[in-house]
Amino acid sequence: MILDLLKRLSEKTDSKIVFLIFDGLGGLDTGKGTALEVAKTPNLDRLAAEGTVGFADPILPGITPGSGPAHLALFGYNPLQYEIGRGILSALGVGFEIKAGDVAARVNFATIDKNGLVTDRRAGRIPTETCVRLCDKLRQISLEGVEVFVQPEKEHRAAVVFRGQGLSGQVCDTDPQRTGAKPIVPRATTDNPAAIRTAKIVEQFLHRAFEVLKDDHPANAILMRGFDSFEALPTMQEIYKLNPAAIATYPMYKGVARLVGMTVLDAGETPETEFDCLEKHWNEYDFFYVHIKKTDSYGEDGNFEGRVHVLEEVDALVPRLVALKPSTILVTGDHSTPSPMKAHSFHPVPVLIHSPLARRDPAKVFGETACMTGGLGRVPMEYLMSLALAHSGKLQKYGA
């Protein structure tokens, strides 16, 4: 709905937008304040004092998002309307360039006994090097009419992508989810001919895979799950008339950015190299997604001090961003990851919008408590993109 509207109303201008995304930004107060409140962030605080702050719900109030749907919401795509399944995210996570029509699934290397019964669903958690070597073996499998891509992940995990005409993700898992059972034969979950054809292709692939792996005990089998196909998303170019670039250090975020049409830049490995990248490419794009991963990783580890440290580290770089004079800087997270919970959470995410058009509010710092007094209120995350476009003068009036 909002995308149809934005497609009508958006126009190309010279103004530039930067989304500075701290993964897992929202936190909980454990007595002394949240990580964002405890961190010394004078530069973000200045932006908050000059701008508008508030909260965003990635999906809906109370719903904890995974990174995929949360990022779609950030980029303005309703995360319930546009779903990215597990198989696709796995493929993106290993840096695979997924294309429309591809069908992806997650793979576990597993152990089967002489009777074909699964004895270990994770093949004793084989080392990643073994996984890489076995994926190379699986790549030798060629099937008629489809390309097969096999990508190692960590330990016993890998991703498989099938590419060809008329494939469907509506195929059941082959993982029996317990030991002592045979792997499940892949079946179409609908009577759609594409699903039936895909199930047959998967069955052929598995047949060949079991042959190829038969002497590789404990990894003498594979189990597949989370089949899904990828339908192309409308791009940010089409909808927003933007020329967008992604600056991120982790494959999955680069992958999601590519799905919505961003050019993925070489961002190095640290926030500092990410800001170097931003400066280097400043003149080439008009939208930059800058992703800071570690706020989430430390949140998942329950490492409050780690979160504080990353926030301070990035805050010190913020003057370099301000010096580039973007028309709108939007700072937020894709979701909350409070360190006391050691997990993604349902809490709405703090948002800061800095722009000459931002309506000033009483908030003088960037933190969860200050955001409660903010001028933005609490909005669905999918509207942050329209707000950023509006604050950069990139949207025409609706109606006369």
CA distance 162 to 168: 10
Site for a second copy in 154-183 (CB under 8 A): none
Segment contacting a second copy by CB under 8 A, of 112-120, 177-185, 262-270, 344-352: 344-352
Per CB under 8 A, 196 contacts a second copy: no
Pick the closest to residue 162 from 144, 143, 146 (CA basis).
Answer: 146
Q: Is 128 in the site for a second copy (CB under 8 A)?
A: no
Q: In the bound complex, what is the minimum distance in angstroms from residue 118's beta carbon to a second copy?
A: 23
How would you classify residue 226: left for phi > 0, otherwise alpha for psi between -120 and 50, otherwise beta? left
Contacts of residue 297, defined as CB under 8 A and 6 or more positions apart, other chains included, come to 23, 306
Tell me which of 348, 352, 355, 367 binds a second copy, using CB under 8 A. 348
Number of Cβ within a 10 Å radius of residue 194: 17
Among 60, 100, 132, 181, binds a second copy (CB under 8 A): 60
Beta bridge partners of 246: 264, 289
Placement of tokens 């000059």 in the chain: 50
Which residue, among 275, 257, 315, has the nearest Cα to 25 in the 3D structure?
315
Output 111 or 355, the one with its CB closest to a second copy: 355
Query: What values do phi and psi take at 103, rounded to 5?
Result: -115, 125
Residue 54 or 218: the one with the smaller Cβ distance to a second copy is 54
The pair of three-digit structure tokens given for residue 286, joined into one six-digit string: 């008009």
Nearer to a second copy, 165 or 396 (CB): 396
d(CA 370, CA 72): 26
201 or 224, CB closer to a second copy? 224
Binding of a second copy by 397 (CB under 8 A):
yes
Structure token pair of residue 49: 């004092």
Does 200 contact a second copy by CB under 8 A? no
- Among 32, 178, 215, 399, contact with a second copy (rule: CB under 8 A): 399
Strand 244-247 to 221-229 pairing: unpaired
Q: State how beta strands 244-247 and 263-264 pair.
A: parallel
| Closest CA relative to residue 10, chosen from 286, 291, 246, 357 | 286
Please tell me whether residue 100 binds a second copy under the rule CB under 8 A. Answer: no
Contact status, residue 218 vs residue 133, Cβ threshold 8 Å: no
| From candidates 69, 183, 186, 261, binder to a second copy by CB under 8 A | 69
Binding mask 356-395 for a second copy (x = CB under 8 A): -x-xxxx-----xx--xxxxxxxxx--x-xxxxxxx---x
List 41, 43, 67, 130, residue binding a second copy (CB under 8 A)? 67
Query: Site for a second copy (CB under 8 A): which residue of 216, 251, 276, 346?
Result: 346
Per-residue interface string for the shown chain with a second copy, residues 4-23, x marking contact by CB under 8 A: -x---x--------------
Kindly state the smallest distance separating residue 69's Cβ from a second copy, in Å.
Answer: 4
Nearest of 255, 256, 286, 281 to residue 266 by alpha carbon: 281
Report in angstroms how near the CB of residue 171 gets to a second copy at its nearest.
18
Give dist(CA 294, CA 271) in Å, integer.
9
Contacts with a second copy by CB under 8 A lie at 1-2, 5, 9, 28-29, 54-55, 59-70, 79-80, 83-84, 86, 89, 341, 344-348, 357, 359-362, 368-369, 372-380, 383, 385-391, 395-400
